[in-house]
Amino acid sequence: MLPYLLVALLVLGSANATAQPYAPTNAGEISDGYAADGARVEVGGWVWTHEQGTWLNFNQPSARPPMRVDTTGVPAEQMRRVQAECNAPTQFAGGCRATVRGVAQRQGDRAAIVAHAIAVGEVGREERQRGP
**Which helix (DSSP H) or strand (DSSP E) does residue 77 occupy?**
helix 76-85
pLDDT tens-digit series, residues 68-119:
999 999 999 999 999 999 999 988 899 999 999 999 999 888 899 999 999 9
Q: What is the pLDDT of residue 63?
A: 84
Beta strands in 1-132 (DSSP E): 23-24, 40-50, 53-57, 67-70, 96-107, 110-120
How many CB atoms neighbour CB 36 within 10 A?
11
Confidence of residue 19 (pLDDT cuts 50, 70, 90): low
Total residues found in the chain within this entry: 132
- Cα 58 to Cα 66: distance, rounded to the nearest angstrom: 8
Query: Taking the model in full, what pTM does it have?
Result: 0.78
